[in-house]
């Protein structure tokens, strides 16, 4: 065994000892939020497709109507497809901002934006439960990074009082709905603190589209994805035109990556239209989540994510395996995705789930837990 293979083998042994080895499964999507995994069929309660738009007939038709499979190069090289420009106009209108910019993914949108706006002269204050890509962007920027306790406004204010005066600019990072805990940030209060201390805010709305009301205020950059609630793929930033112009010319994650295919863009545009025009569609995932939390005695959540924290990794894995025996697919979330000692089942509700599927989920969870 060569030294590289030996290194990989030894590292995998360490990961296995910690219970955090990941595996890829052969998955085939089926109608009605069902999937076939490694030859077995399950109801999928791990998908971020909160509104069932990934398999919506109108979204599929929009994708098939476009005859170009790829963009060919960076948008700065081959130009911007008219479909992308139209989607960016729709996203800006939805968010109440002057402009929007589509990136290749939500990960690229966050690291590209943060690194374009901050460097070693600046301060970044991030909620400790922000998504990994926000922390990666902060570290890549070279700025001083400090984490504040989750949704703790007093701790954030203390950090601002102690450190804001010693840096050129300050960016506050948060999520609107947190991906692993399912709770919401006190965004209006964070924006008010940012105004008092002359800071900028980047809010990750990846899991909040359709659930959270946009907050277009000065110094606020709204980030989101096309790949969760909208059922497609990609990421975006909504901000003032000067900010978007700056990102086009300096966000390396935008400049040096191939643009998204027009078929993906057309699908996202259709999804956004459907989501905005159908109030019942927007309400159903939250209603199902409320039914699940009430049935299990869990705290109510603002969106479609219901976390069930079990503690250690082995317990989470065992609970997920027992749910598989009931025909339910729920992934066991473990470190480093969540803090050590907080392994959990992450239940995701979708408008495409039937009442019978949700009733079966509740019954299975009561038996397993």
Of the residues 127, 175, 181, 183, only one is catalytic, namely 175
Of the residues 48, 105, 227, 271, only one is catalytic, namely 48
Cα distance between residue 217 and residue 97, in whole Å: 9
Of the residues 179, 203, 271, 350, only one is catalytic, namely 179
The answer to whether 151 is a known catalytic residue is no
The answer to whether 85 is a known catalytic residue is no
The answer to whether 110 is a known catalytic residue is no
The answer to whether 367 is a known catalytic residue is no
Which of 344, 302, 364, 306 shows the shortest CA–CA distance to 42? 364
In this structure, what token pair is assigned to residue 164?
């804001």
Of the residues 56, 151, 181, 207, only one is catalytic, namely 207
Instruction: Look at the alpha carbons of 185, 188, 193, 195 in this order and tell me if their dihedral is positive or negative.
Output: positive
Of the residues 228, 269, 331, 353, only one is catalytic, namely 228
The answer to whether 179 is a known catalytic residue is yes
Q: Write out the E strands in the chain.
A: 27-30, 34-37, 40-44, 99-103, 123-127, 144-148, 170-175, 200-204, 220-225, 235-239, 305-311, 328-329, 332-333, 343-348
The answer to whether 175 is a known catalytic residue is yes
The 8 Å CB, 24+ separation contacts for 322-325 are 322/367, 322/368, 323/364, 323/365, 323/368, 324/40, 324/42
The answer to whether 67 is a known catalytic residue is no
Of the residues 49, 127, 181, 204, only one is catalytic, namely 204
Q: Which of the residues are catalytic? A: 48, 131, 175, 179, 204, 207, 228
């Amino acid at each position: 065994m060569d030294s590289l293979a030996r290194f990989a083998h030894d590292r995998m042994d360490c990961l296995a000892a910690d219970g955090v080895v990941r595996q890829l499964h052969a998955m085939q999507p089926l109608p009605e939020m069902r999937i076939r995994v490694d030859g077995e069929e399950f109801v999928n309660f791990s998908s971020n497709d909160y509104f069932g738009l990934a398999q919506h007939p109108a979204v599929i038709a929009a994708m098939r109507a476009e005859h170009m499979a790829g963009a060919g190069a960076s948008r700065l090289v081959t130009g911007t497809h008219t479909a992308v420009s139209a989607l960016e106009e729709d996203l800006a209108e939805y968010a109440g901002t002057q402009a929007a910019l589509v990136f290749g993914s939500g990960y690229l949108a966050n690291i590209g934006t943060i690194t374009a706006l901050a460097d070693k002269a600046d301060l970044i204050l991030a909620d400790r439960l922000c998504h990994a890509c926000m922390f990666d962007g902060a570290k890549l920027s070279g700025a001083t990074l400090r984490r504040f306790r989750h949704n703790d406004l007093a701790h954030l204010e203390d950090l601002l009082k102690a450190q804001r005066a010693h840096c050129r600019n300050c960016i506050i990072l948060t999520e609107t709905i947190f991906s692993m805990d399912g709770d919401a940030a006190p965004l209006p209060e964070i924006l008010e603190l940012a105004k008092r201390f002359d800071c900028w805010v980047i809010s990750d709305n990846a899991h909040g589209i359709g659930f959270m009301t946009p907050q277009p205020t000065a110094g606020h950059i709204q980030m989101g994805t096309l790949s969760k609630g909208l059922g497609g793929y990609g990421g975006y930033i909504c901000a003032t035109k000067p900010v978007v112009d700056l990102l086009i010319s300096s966000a390396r994650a935008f400049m040096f990556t191939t643009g998204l295919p027009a078929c993906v863009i057309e699908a996202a545009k259709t999804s956004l239209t459907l989501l905005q025009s159908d109030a019942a569609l927007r309400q159903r995932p939250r209603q199902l989540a409320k039914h699940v939390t009430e049935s299990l005695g869990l705290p109510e959540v603002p969106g479609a994510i219901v976390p069930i924290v079990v503690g250690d990794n082995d317990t989470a894995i065992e609970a997920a395996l027992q749910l598989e025996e009931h025909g339910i697919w729920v992934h066991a979330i473990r470190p480093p995705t969540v803090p050590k000692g907080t392994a959990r089942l992450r239940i995701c509700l979708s408008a495409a789930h039937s009442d019978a599927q949700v009733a079966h989920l509740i019954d299975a969870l009561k038996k397993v837990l």
